[in-house]
Amino acid sequence: MKFTNGYWMSRPEYRMLYATQCVRATREGNELALLVAGRPVRTRGDILDGGALEVRFSAPRENIIRVRIVHFDGAVDPGPRFETFEEAFTPEITVAEDYASLRSGRLTVRALRQEGAWQVDFLDQDGRKLTSSGFRGMARALLEEEGPASLLKHGKSFMIDSLDLAVGETVYGLGERFGPYVRNGQSVDMWNADGGTASEKSYKNIPFYMTNRGYGVFVEDASEVSFEVASEKVERVQFSVPGERLTYDVLYGGTPKETLDLYTALTGRPALPPAWSFGLWLSTSFTTNYDEATVSSFIDGMAQRDIPLSVFHFDCYWMRGFNWCDFVWDPEVFPDPEGMLKRYHDRGLKLCCWINPYVGQASPLFAEGKEKGYFLRTSDGSVWQTDMWQAGMAILDVTNPAARDWYCDKIRAVLHQGIDCLKTDFGERIPVRDIVYFDGSDPVRMHNYYTFLYNQMIFDLLKQEKGEGEAVLFARSATAGGQQFPVHWGGDNSATYASMAETLRAGLSMSHSGFGFWSHDISGFESTAPADVYKRWAVFGLLSSHSRLHGSSSYRVPWLFDEESVDVVRKFTKLKCSLMPYLYQMAVEAHEKGTPMMRPMMMEFPGDPACEYLDRQYMLGDRLLVAPVFDPEGWVTYYLPEGTWYSLLTGEKLTGGCWRREKHDFLSLPLLVRGGTVLPVGACDTRPDYDYARDVELRAYGLGEGESFSLKIPTVQGTPDASYTVTREDGKPVVSADSAKPFRAVLID
């Protein structure tokens, strides 16, 4: 949202109150409180008819500083508010004659105390300025209804701050964004929408960004936060919220990884998904016709072609049309759901079903929910309904504990039939006009926050029913904190190379936003991909944290495209299974520290300026570089950072610090291992969940004489992790291990 007309002038419809001078600074407990006038205060008369802002600095955790700006503190604030996980920490506060400061670990905020001047600097441990809020940065804007400006007129209020950008500073994140990877120059509004992947709209809006200067900013407001990223003022990031209060946190990690560590400590760590979820998922697709015979033909076809399949997913039409959702299997196509699910379980498959929080009027659940008051209502007490999506549908009121219990009881019955996990679709189309929530929440704030409560509700149900460590979702919508309930996928993409590239950009952006696990519809949801797009996308999808074949109006089994598609899916599914000793350790790291499995290049190489704009390649964990092919002829151009690299597929040795252009067939792509790495390769390539340490091969790539590399192999069997240190001595690998399980070590030069 823009408030100015050029740099100097405000837009005529806004009356601006800018922070201009700190007139009072006091320590209040563990907070630094400032009273900030909206004009220079030179005489006593200057305090009249001008307005002021109250600014408080505090430290919710070490190396994080919270800024709370209030104009009218009497304004109602019904919530909801983001859940944050704070720690007992005492900041160092100084109130001096010419400045006031608060220090939280390695981060300090310092406010100037001078007549007619306003400057707030955020400094690192060496006193280096990271960013600042200065001239016409912090403000309250009043959108006046009509007529001349007056303090007595009523209008809509917005709270604003803007933080400086240094020369060469680049901005990342703000949730799932399909446009340019670097946010500079963009206007971004936090408003969840079902807009597909080819628009500026997003299913997952996260009011958190980070920059290449080692810090991040989290705006703690669930409403429609608006960001102007080097757009309204090209030297600043501005953010604004409706209302009379603004709260944001500045987090200083020093590196992108450490900043994400702080952010996910504050807003919640990603849960660790079960190991089986990392295998290949196959779906019925959306509007296709299917029954048990169709589903069985797909499962049989994958087995006959030696393609390991881990999860089968039943999309919407497992229920009868118009009845979404009633959580009852369509008896015409699935007359024996319990028997069918048992037969698939006996084949070693996990099973998933589609759900959403909407209930069509034809569903038997509608009358029950209406009677008990379990749906969103309008101010006259009516159930809010729409024909968009399902005829006459209502929306579950997730703020009502009884409604949540009722809804979960319906799903619990499906889980007891044999379903292992759930695809929590939708959650974005949440109305705001004339809406009343059970707990009195603000409908505007609930528009985005609804998805947090929705996915949390289902994730908690799965933990209760399946056990700790077995819960996993396939979720489309999200807001801040939603990373705690993995996995999320990228929404409705199309069957083109362009959509494949925009899908990757969204995944990179999600990685900057605290989401450790991420997936997408392989080969595109809309339309049917030509065989070349299918094959290239399958490779990319199987080198993502989670991998799903899903579409709209056609099936996605590989033999329907061409025989080589079968070879591609087989090869890279087996490769992913064999890499699970490495990949699962990266998953543990995402769970423990918030470092995503799929990492933008600048996150792993923050000191390399060539990596700051790269959006067609990524690191899978800290050791594997992936450059998907987006070209029908197989050409790919990618950047290789400094050092020695090895092709995982061919063993070829490459020297980094340069750009490379290569041509690859459909069974290949640039998939490179960093030199100095010991990569654990599992003995099993037919499933993702097995004893990773048994018969593991420790491949030492480019390990110099006398050099060592330590690694840990996690377990999914309930036994302690296995730790190894591989050292090159006299041209041979010498291994120190705390595991009695057999292993093999090889040197690759």
Residues acting as catalytic residues: 425, 428, 492
Instruction: Give the residue among 734, 666, 736 at the shortest CA–CA distance from 706.
Output: 734
Of 163, 150, 317, 131, the C-alpha closest to 236 is 163
Phi and psi of 443, rounded to 5°? -60, -35
CA-atom Rg of the chain in angstroms: 27
What is the number of other CB atoms lying within 10 angstroms of the CB of residue 746?
13
Pairwise CA distance, residues 381 & 435, whole Å: 10
Q: H or E stretch including 495?
A: none
* Nearest-angstrom CA–CA distance, 545 and 364: 38
Q: Computed from CA positions of residues 389, 390, 392, 396, in that sequence, does the dihedral angle turn out positive or negative? A: negative
β partners of residue 400? none
Distance between CA atoms of residues 648 and 664, nearest Å: 14
Q: Distance (Å, rounded) from C-alpha 337 to C-alpha 327?
A: 12
The answer to whether 270 touches 517, Cβ cutoff 8 Å, is yes
280 token code pair? 């290949």
Distance from C-alpha of 621 to C-alpha of 98, rounded to nearest angstrom: 47
User: How far is residue 229's CA from residue 217's CA, in Å, rounded to a whole number?
Assistant: 12
Structure tokens at 193: 């929408």
Pairing between β-strand 139-144 and β-strand 129-133 as defined by DSSP bridges: unpaired
Q: Are 300 and 495 in contact (CB under 8 A)?
A: no
Token digits of residue 182: 């670097």
Separation of alpha carbons 249 and 95, rounded Å:
21
Q: What angle do CA 408, 314, 463 make, to 5 degrees?
A: 35
- Angle formed at CA 233 by CA 231 and CA 234, multiple of 5 degrees: 65
Question: What tokens does 159 get?
Answer: 């709270």
Pairwise CA distance, residues 543 & 519, whole Å: 10
